[in-house]
Structure 1
């Protein structure tokens, strides 16, 4: 049987490998792929793609000298812009005119490239423009030349994401390998779960590619990166639990096959429920209107399911074939007892919670509440120019423009209107308060594009006021169906939609998790305890974010999608450890132990493996913090610290203390609540799985 399982996975891997490699080319990182599906700005972006020449690339060529531009600077700038314009198709067909700053330090040339419908072509066009403006011999010394604008910012984002895939994969694998070596203290054992999780990652990428081809699933670089972290983090957690239980059963069973069968019988329901909560939580994201969030749902769920499938089939098969020697040098001997020191630390934690459950519970709750107050120190919304941890050229250009043109925007607001009513829309736009100028752009398919330049820098209060005024005013133009979009409108819609998505998705996640926990634990109280605990962890982790993002990391804002995504990950993943603990506690209760004994025994027997699992999961998400995107750094930080809080505070002390106080009410209204404990059945030291049939092994050998 093990050989058949391995052969099946080998065949699957041979088939999956080519498709997994094709996933890179199937990723989509256009603005539409990250925007709300029903927002005005999304509809504008889609209409722009259908205009003659496709979606435009809005660039701003910036020439700057601190002491003021010279005549030679202006001549060089005009010549260079003409050269660039001659190599590309431009909206309007002619080279752009210079817009000088009032202080005489800067010239900007707004330029819109057209005729580029492919993402790669657009990125290559931006590179070509930059190459054409690169310094040459004979240029005026001290003249700074930069390319900014939404098109340049998008190209820089794609370049950053393209460079992170390999880095993320190798960094995650390296972190997991290191932690497995420390955990297992074996030169061989760590290779098995690491290899299996690599197979799971390959299978996940192939399946996601199939979903892209079959169902036009949107896969962004962000969702692909998070899927990699989920596969390695969740898969390694499941491996740690299974291997720990297998090691335990090898002391009771002579044959590795029998030991693995009992191990899967004992921890299998917990692993299934754990993966079920994560997958269900992620699939709740399908209800989100934000394209990047709704696309992440199925992508992440596929990763978790593949990790589960590999860990409950391929991992056991490999371990059984390798036998006990895979644990060398700490080989579990049949009939032996584990060393007491391996559980002493968590036994001490359980005893301390048992002695003072009320004090421990109230103290822990107060600590989480105090940390949660840090959300009051959260910075504002993240602006487009602040999305990178480093400063690429597009961001530097934005800053130069903001300093040189404080009263005017270098970035147009895009308005789409039916061609029949475009003239009236243009007239209304020019008369809108806060608008500096408005010009008609391309027309096609019954629609006309209008570029509106507001007063104020991009995403400033002045520009936001102009956006609201345009939307409220232009909608009154009969028959024009005017829509207001562009980069700043997109950020505004992202914020509003993220708030709406939270009110819809968060309740769905809580309901899904509660239902799965109730089915596993046969109780309503225990699931409520676990869910309240992880929600408190989420609040504390977000509070820590408020204390670190701006004061320590220097981040100017928080991505609007962070609260929802971090909630889904922390609730779904954080419940995992509660599942492992409560499921073992239920096993002990089924064997006749009362709740206090069952709770302390569950903590003692699962403490080490859950601590290792928490460290692995936190470390894999922390890898995101090494990437050059502020959103991923914030996500990695919040989830990592949340997992650590859940692992070493909430699960260890608070859930255990709550169980000790509730006693048999923790199982209400299930059969265990109505069952009278048998005083003659004390908690066991090793706690075999419920329903297991231990062999008459010799203890202490």
Structure 2
């Protein structure tokens, strides 16, 4: 192929890998990225309660109306319990004095009086706290807890729960978490790179390049999100870092593997890198563009923070791919072959595709009985996928933490002496007839009590205490019944944590219906454009979908039988699908682009097996590394991130060790040239035979289509 575009690309590759210019492409981007991270830094923002609420949902409109009321406040519920037996008869008065003193000290608004329980073992006080950002709320709740501990009389324990306290404990999960997550991720990547390359030096180069790319991605992503006014939350940058390290290191492994192979044929390392970059760029660009398009589908989500995550991660993948294709090759050629020490590649050594590695032997086995491997693998994946039918979704507040915080422990204790819903009441916001709404709320099933809590500018807030515990099926039924009772009343909306959970479940279902098919279409379209084929992309997408369902089913077994999770968070299926399908396509692209290249000289069957030999090691290393990186999400004591990490970890391992090394090669061998239909990739070759160019005779390319025959 010739023309301006290829000539331009060739000149760019020559500059990146040139003897006189490589140092500039290696050093300048690293310095600029370091300056951006150090001088500009990440953009800041004040989080809003609306960040995680679905657009136009009932609870979201209720929250918006609450923002318009004076003294916009959240609620902290203070639970006082006797250390032994019942509270002393005069304890309630002393506790009221302690609460009043703390309110004055922290400049908090007044609230209802301290209420003792019927069993006499506990009392509670509702303390309104200002509606502020997550960090300020966490600090305020911390001060409230410290002040109450010092103020309560001996023999009484004070615990703080309620929406404000739950949010504070949730924020505590992310206090310093992104730094811990980044350091843990970098450490895992460093160890796995060291084990992969078995070189005391080489691993430092890709780790440094990807690490700097990660910091630049965080700066770019937050400033872009701020510029376009899209929300992001505490977990966004953490997941962004995991994805940048995972995808960036995968791309680096592919480039370095090809570079090392080229060094076995080419004495000049600059020429070798130019060849490696030309061969690798197509796979990396195709993969990264496909992943980015998949991530951008999250912009269609109803949840603002999910939209922010999609855009941030898309920027991260583009940054990682750019650094791997520009900075990494330049940095590698600046140094000599010695960076591979002690296993320095030399001209004349056997190339990877010709070596009799484990993957060569796997290819030989697959070539003998491809149908058996396809059917057997399909049965394994199908059995694992059956567990998907048993999955329950929806985590209650008490199920969101790996370690039970004070707010959850206090809420559980409160339910022993008061109505379970006292710690987290339902809020009904209305612009209509407040008296009529209040009457309907009080008459609704499951509502213990209701009263007007605030009113201004034609907006009335009604607080309703329900019998059911937060997050229970009964609380969901109460909210649904309450909405049905109020359905005929104009401009009346049911809000609060329970209502938000109901709306989040509905929004997650809608997002899956809209976004999942779109991801599949985009991935299929990208593969069709890349391979200029129809059957191969269809089969590859089927393998990715099978991997996703199998990983979800196996993960459910792990969650229920090992980790004790009662349900799957409603957002996990979508995010896991996105990351597994998009990243699973990476390995498909790595394998089939090499198979297409090898097929031109060796036929489609032999080409597929040669591609397995050439890429099996790097794909396995990349898959294990990516699985380990996502497993790092488990360092955060939050169930949703732990679940996401486990599903992706299992899915990537299934994809790497079974689908990409057995199923796809077996399909390629079984179908031969038909695998690429309607395209022909074998040139003058037939599957399993090689045409002798000089005599025109047909000579065997390998017994049963195997390599090295």
2:141 alignment partner, one of 77, 101, 126 = 126
The alignment status of 1:268 with 2:285, answered yes or no, reads no
Kept in 2: contact 1:89–1:113 (CA 8 A)? no
Displacement of 1:256: 1.3
The alpha-carbon distance between structure 1 residues 259 and 434, as it changes in their structure 2 partners (threshold 3 A), is same
2:256 alignment partner, one of 220, 243, 261 = 243
Kept in 1: contact 2:246–2:626 (CA 8 A)? yes
Displacement of 1:409: 3.5
- For residue 254 of structure 1, give the secondary structure of its aligned residue in structure 2: coil
C-alpha RMSD of matched pairs (Å) = 2.1
Kept in 1: contact 2:129–2:164 (CA 8 A)? no
> 1:31: which partner in 2?
49
Displacement of 1:673: 7.7
Kept in 1: contact 2:353–2:613 (CA 8 A)? no
The alignment status of 1:60 with 2:73, answered yes or no, reads no
Q: Which moved more, 1:524-533 or 1:240-249?
A: 524-533
1:672 alignment partner, one of 663, 668, 681 = 681
Matches within 5 A, 1:351-366: 351-366=364-379
Displacement of 1:560: 0.3
The alpha-carbon distance between structure 1 residues 209 and 408, as it changes in their structure 2 partners (threshold 3 A), is closer
Q: In 2, distance between residues paired with 1:488 and 1:339?
A: 58
The alpha-carbon distance between structure 1 residues 673 and 435, as it changes in their structure 2 partners (threshold 3 A), is farther
- For residue 42 of structure 2, give the secondary structure of its aligned residue in structure 1: helix
Q: What whole-Å deviation, never above 9, does each CA across 1:328-367 have from its counterpart, x for those lacking one?
A: 1111112322489965211111111111111111111111
Q: In 1, distance between residues paired with 2:45 and 2:190?
A: 29
Q: In 2, distance between residues paired with 1:642 and 1:654?
A: 15
The alignment status of 1:3 with 2:17, answered yes or no, reads no
Q: In 1, distance between residues paired with 2:123 and 2:346?
A: 78
The alignment status of 1:140 with 2:140, answered yes or no, reads no
- Structure 1 gap segments, 5+ residues each: 685-701
Matches within 5 A, 1:176-187: 176-187=189-200
2:234 alignment partner, one of 189, 211, 221 = 221
Matches within 5 A, 1:306-385: 306-338=319-351, 343-385=356-398
Q: In 2, distance between residues paired with 1:110 and 1:99?
A: 9
Kept in 1: contact 2:59–2:496 (CA 8 A)? yes
Q: In 1, distance between residues paired with 2:682 and 2:502?
A: 51
TM-score (norm 1): 0.92
1:44 alignment partner, one of 62, 72, 81 = 62
Q: In 1, distance between residues paired with 2:352 and 2:534?
A: 36
2:533 alignment partner, one of 523, 531, 534 = 523
The alpha-carbon distance between structure 1 residues 244 and 683, as it changes in their structure 2 partners (threshold 3 A), is farther
> 2:504: which partner in 1?
494
Q: What whole-Å deviation, never above 9, does each CA across 1:398-422 have from its counterpart, x for those lacking one?
A: 111223335654321111111x532
Kept in 2: contact 1:200–1:306 (CA 8 A)? yes
Kept in 2: contact 1:378–1:550 (CA 8 A)? no
Q: In 2, distance between residues paired with 1:313 and 1:298?
A: 23
> 1:699: which partner in 2?
none
Q: What whole-Å deviation, never above 9, does each CA across 1:64-122 have from its counterpart, x for those lacking one?
A: 236332335434422222222223555xx5342233333322212222223x5444332
Q: In 1, distance between residues paired with 2:417 and 2:102?
A: 23
The alpha-carbon distance between structure 1 residues 404 and 376, as it changes in their structure 2 partners (threshold 3 A), is farther
Q: In 1, distance between residues paired with 2:299 and 2:327?
A: 30
The alignment status of 1:77 with 2:95, answered yes or no, reads yes
The alpha-carbon distance between structure 1 residues 14 and 460, as it changes in their structure 2 partners (threshold 3 A), is closer
Q: In 2, distance between residues paired with 1:31 and 1:278?
A: 30
Q: In 1, distance between residues paired with 2:60 and 2:81?
A: 34
The alpha-carbon distance between structure 1 residues 451 and 675, as it changes in their structure 2 partners (threshold 3 A), is farther
Kept in 2: contact 1:414–1:449 (CA 8 A)? yes
Q: In 2, distance between residues paired with 1:609 and 1:460?
A: 47
> 1:450: which partner in 2?
462
Kept in 2: contact 1:570–1:639 (CA 8 A)? yes
- For residue 139 of structure 1, give the secondary structure of its aligned residue in structure 2: coil
Kept in 2: contact 1:378–1:547 (CA 8 A)? no
Kept in 1: contact 2:75–2:129 (CA 8 A)? yes
> 1:561: which partner in 2?
571
Kept in 2: contact 1:417–1:483 (CA 8 A)? yes
Name the count of aligned residue pairs.
672
Q: In 1, distance between residues paired with 2:246 and 2:132?
A: 37
> 2:584: which partner in 1?
574
Q: What whole-Å deviation, never above 9, does each CA across 1:553-578 have from its counterpart, x for those lacking one?
A: 12232110011110000000011111
Query: Greater RCO between the two (CA within 8 Å, min separation 6)?
Result: 1
Q: In 2, distance between residues paired with 1:44 and 1:609?
A: 52
Displacement of 1:622: 0.6
